[in-house]
Amino acid sequence: ATNQDLRALVKKGVFREDLYYRLNVVPLHIPPLRDRAEDIPALVQHFIFASGLVKVFEPDAMRALQEFKWPGNIRELESFVRRLAVLYAQDIMDRDTVMEELRKLSPAASGGVPVAENLSQMVDRLLGEYFAAHHGMMPPAGLYDRVLREIEKPLIEQTLLVTGGNQIKAAEVLGLNRNTLRKKIRSLDIEVRK
């Protein structure tokens, strides 16, 4: 499973075309969890059962989980449910408890008041969730380079977005030489919108 556009990677020569056709026999598109809120109660019950603990979510607490946007999809939900199961001794999870933890997870998505979180804290939280999603196993080797590669494109795209596509301003914000920024825009196939 991947969220990468493999067809685009084949065109760039980064992904083998023969492997693409072997894998693309029956492509399945699974909508994001935010579009399948009705699946959340069953998933929560599954994750609770898998944790080996007994927890019951009050109806209001379950509704809070269903209203959350879950940018990390099912893995984020699983990590969240496991965290609740381990951190809270009570058997019945109420809405207040769930909302408090959702605010910590993502203040904007939960409709809560933003908690002061700097970039380092955000990265730390996301990496913690990434490692938790591996269920005690180690991720594939090369994580350092992979993280740097995966953050570079959205970093440049978001900077260009907030600067209105102004490459001079974006280069200044990023602390890059303008020519270096242009090379990165080309090599990362970034669309500059003004």
Per run of 10 residues, the mean pLDDT along the chain (length 194 residues) is 78 89 82 91 93 89 93 87 87 92 68 53 77 80 86 89 90 94 92 79
Contacts of 177 (CB under 8 A, 6+ apart): 171
Q: What's the pTM?
A: 0.49
Residues forming beta bridges with residue 56, ordered by sequence position:
92
Per-residue tokens: 134: 């591996």
Per-residue tokens: 153: 């494109």
Angle at 183 between CA 181 and CA 187, to 5 degrees: 120
